[in-house]
Amino acid sequence: MSFDRRPRAAPMWVALFLVPVLLAMAGCSTAPSAPTAAAADPTTPTEYVLGTGDKLRLTVFNEPSLSGEFEVNSGGLISIPLIGSIKAQGETAHGLETAITQKLSSGYMRDPRVNIEVLQYRPFYIIGEVSKPGEYPYRNGMNIMSAVAVAGGFTYRANDQTVNIRRAGQAQEYSYPVTTTTMVLPGDIVRVSERLF
């Protein structure tokens, strides 16, 4: 009686099970990697970044001649007595306070105390399937639901589940859910698209 000693092919289920396991052990993966987030998480408000059109109140304690209201001009600058023009665009309020403090400390004042307050934010824009598209003043803490409400609400054709937002300074827009945790920021362009069916 003779036995066939030739190796037999493994059943198909073994191959389907072992190939992903072997690839994972080798550092590979058959599943596509999750896309990286290209934009900041809209549910997590970040510290506000100043930009053109923002109106600020500068207070230099015990120095009323240096204090006052200033608007960030088209070049992103504010002009302050004694120290001249200083860049505000792209800075946070705290960053601008630090920059002004350093300028005043450089031969003008000893231990200056500076405070920056945003009096009026630059507007946001909403276009597409809303009743009144256009430019609107920003209110602190605004979310996508309140932004749509300001623009008269969705039209009957609107996709009321997601919106596209291009943040100030970004070249690309990203899709966000229509929830109270999706924040709108000054300078944003919000686009409400038509629903597919």
- Specify if 1 maps to a domain: no
Same domain, yes or no: 146 and 188? yes
- Specify if 15 maps to a domain: no
> Which range, of 40-44, 46-50, 60-64, averages the lowest pLDDT?
40-44
pLDDT band at 46 (very low <50, low <70, confident <90, very high): low
Same domain, yes or no: 147 and 109? no
- Specify if 65 maps to a domain: yes
Which residues span the domain enclosing 82? 55-120
The pLDDT score that the predictor gives to residue 40 is 46
138-148 tens-digit pLDDT: 988 899 999 99
Provide the token pair at 36. Answer: 């990286």
Which has more confidence, 17 or 171?
Answer: 171
Provide the token pair at 15. Answer: 């191959």
Residue listed under structure tokens 């198909």: 12
Same domain, yes or no: 128 and 188? yes
Its pTM stands at 0.66
pLDDT band at 6 (very low <50, low <70, confident <90, very high): low
Provide the token pair at 81. Answer: 């007595």
Residue 22 has pLDDT above 70, yes or no: no
The pLDDT score that the predictor gives to residue 33 is 35
- Specify if 185 maps to a domain: yes
81-135 tens-digit pLDDT: 888 999 999 899 999 999 999 999 988 888 899 999 999 999 999 999 999 999 9
Total domains, the chain: 2
Residue 39 has pLDDT above 80, yes or no: no
Mean of pLDDT values over 26-32: 41
Provide the token pair at 102. Answer: 């350093």
Same domain, yes or no: 85 and 98? yes
Mean of pLDDT values over 11-28: 47
Closest CA to 57 of 103, 121, 102: 121
- Specify if 47 maps to a domain: no
Residue 188 has pLDDT above 90, yes or no: yes
- Specify if 30 maps to a domain: no
Q: Using H for helix, E for strand and C for coil, what is the string for the chain?
A: CCCCCCCCCCCHHHHHHHHHHHHHHCCCCCCCCCCCCCCCCCCCCCCCECCCCCEEEEEECCCCCCCEEEECCCCCEEEECCCEEEECCCCEHHHHHHHHHHHHHCCCCCCCCEEEEEEECCCEEEEECECCCEEECCCCCCEHHHHHHHCCCECCCECCCEEEEECCCCCCCEEEECCCCCECCCCCEEEECECCC
The pLDDT score that the predictor gives to residue 98 is 95
- CATH number at 153 reads 3.10.560.10
Same domain, yes or no: 85 and 103? yes
52-74 tens-digit pLDDT: 999 999 999 999 988 999 999 99
The pLDDT score that the predictor gives to residue 135 is 96
- Specify if 27 maps to a domain: no
